């Protein structure tokens, strides 16, 4: 966790994977102008998950276009150790790897921090929450996937809230992120379980009024903090 723990706050991070990928600059600026606290960038390599998205060259191009945005890089990749320096050079702020993708999570966390980024660790729905406990004290955030990683538009898995509750009970000041099927119909379950970092894709990005949706998501979380 961070050297100086900060008070737990609500942070809303739209997933730009659901945006118009041919015009990401416009989408990212719109999300920040709508009240987003950060942007969630899904990096998929076709190996760890059965899908391809984009890599560090795109992140590097996007960085100067939205200099005020905090880039949370969700690394759904095999061998996440390979891309730390490239993503740091590209302008990533937080490097969130999957516990299932590495045999040396603590060494990877050190590498991420030495590169100047925050470190996050994620776990897939089928992975027991206990598998991340050994690294919780070293990372800045834990991501609980509420769908199978790889594709957008999946249905929210409410059973994953037990993992969020487990982590919140044991680590009261930990940033806990949820990602997958999170929108206005599922935000209350996330908030009550203890999640404070909310990744929302189509519910925000494809909304007629993204600002209003972000505000509603935030209200649900804040009342539970």
What does pTM read for this prediction?
0.95
Percent with pLDDT over 70 in the chain: 96
Place of tokens 């969630």: 40
| Of 162, 154, 144, residue with least CA distance to 183 | 154
- Residue 120, helix vs strand vs coil: strand
Mean pLDDT value of segment 169-182: 97
Report the C-alpha gap between 147 and 21 in whole angstroms. Answer: 22
CATH of 11-222 among 3.20.20.70, 3.40.50.1360, 2.60.40.2700, 3.40.50.1370 = 3.20.20.70
Q: Which residues are catalytic?
A: 42, 179
Percent with pLDDT over 90 in the chain: 93
Greatest alpha-carbon pair distance for the chain in Å reads 43
Beta bridge partners of 145: 179
Report the C-alpha gap between 184 and 206 in whole angstroms. Answer: 13
Domain boundaries, the chain: 11-222
Span 125-161, pLDDT tens digits:
999 999 999 999 999 999 999 999 987 667 999 999 9
Contact 43, 73 (CB under 8 A): yes
Span 78-103, pLDDT tens digits:
999 999 999 999 999 999 999 999 99
């Amino acid at each position: 966790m961070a050297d100086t723990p900060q008070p737990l706050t609500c942070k809303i991070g739209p997933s730009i994977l659901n945006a118009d990928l041919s015009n990401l600059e416009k989408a990212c600026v719109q999300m920040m102008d709508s009240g987003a606290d950060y942007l969630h960038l899904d990096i998929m390599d076709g190996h760890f998950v059965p899908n391809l998205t984009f890599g560090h060259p795109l992140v590097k191009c996007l960085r100067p276009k939205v200099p005020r945005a905090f880039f949370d890089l969700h690394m759904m990749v095999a061998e996440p150790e390979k891309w730390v320096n490239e993503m740091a050079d590209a302008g990533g702020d937080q490097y969130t790897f999957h516990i299932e993708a590495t045999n040396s999570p603590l060494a990877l966390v050190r590498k991420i921090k030495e590169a100047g980024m925050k470190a996050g660790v994620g776990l897939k729905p089928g992975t027991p929450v206990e598998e991340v406990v050994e690294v919780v004290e070293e990372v800045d955030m834990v991501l609980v996937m509420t769908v199978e990683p790889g594709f957008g538009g999946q249905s929210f898995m409410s059973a994953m809230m037990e993992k969020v509750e487990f982590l919140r009970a044991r680590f009261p000041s930990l940033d806990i992120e949820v990602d997958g099927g999170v929108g206005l119909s599922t935000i209350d379950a996330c908030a009550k379980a203890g999640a404070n970092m909310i990744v929302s894709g189509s519910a925000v990005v494809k909304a007629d009024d993204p600002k209003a949706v972000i505000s509603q998501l935030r209200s649900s979380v804040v009342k539970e903090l």
